[in-house]
Structure 1
Amino acid sequence: MLLGQVAGKVWATKKSPALTGQALLTVAVDGALLVCADCVGAGEGERVLVATGGAARVAAGAHIPIDAAIVGIIDGP
């Protein structure tokens, strides 16, 4: 699990049919940007918890081809 901050949205004119309807966000994690599937409705600037690898596929659904997913929004300081 990684802690990051949502940097913005990803817009794609073409993508895998399995990603149809899936929101993709960029998340700043330790100075790098990750493209993550948004499973919780996070917004720009929010601190989030990111799952990677197999945990991301479980969170988003086994049929979605992703490697990083936002699985929680951090409310506190």
Structure 2
Amino acid sequence: MLIGKVSGSLWATRKNEHLNGLKFLLVDIEGTTEETLSKTIVAADTEGAGFGDLVLISTGSSARVALESLDIPVDATIVGIIDSVERNQ
């Protein structure tokens, strides 16, 4: 799983029929080191996340399981909204 921050939303009027009814958000995933650049991914939202929310993202086949259908062509799904993160550095 990944941690990211919602930075925007995405609309597509023409898409695969299995994607109808899904909300898509842009999520910034930070790099693991200072040398690694952050990247932005598109994730289907199942939790009602909004702009600026810190979210937990499931990827790969687990993303489809979170949507309760293996027929939906997604590879990232927001499965939680994070309240806090603690790290020892």
Which TM-score applies when normalising by structure 1? 0.94
Structure 1 runs of 4+ aligned residues shifted over 4 Å read none
Match of 2:77 among 66, 69, 74: 69
Uncovered stretches (5+) of structure 1, i.e. residues with no partner: none
Query: How many percent identity over aligned positions?
Result: 49
Secondary structure at 1:7 match in 2? strand
User: Deviation at 1:75?
Assistant: 1.1
CA distance in 2 between partners of 1:26 and 1:54 (Å) = 19
The 5-angstrom pairing of residues 19-34 of structure 1 reads 19-30=19-30, 31-34=38-41
* Residue correspondences, number: 77
Q: Which amino acid aligns with 2:65?
A: V
User: Deviation at 1:41?
Assistant: 0.7
Secondary structure at 1:42 match in 2? coil
Uncovered stretches (5+) of structure 2, i.e. residues with no partner: 31-37
Pairwise CA RMSD: 1.0
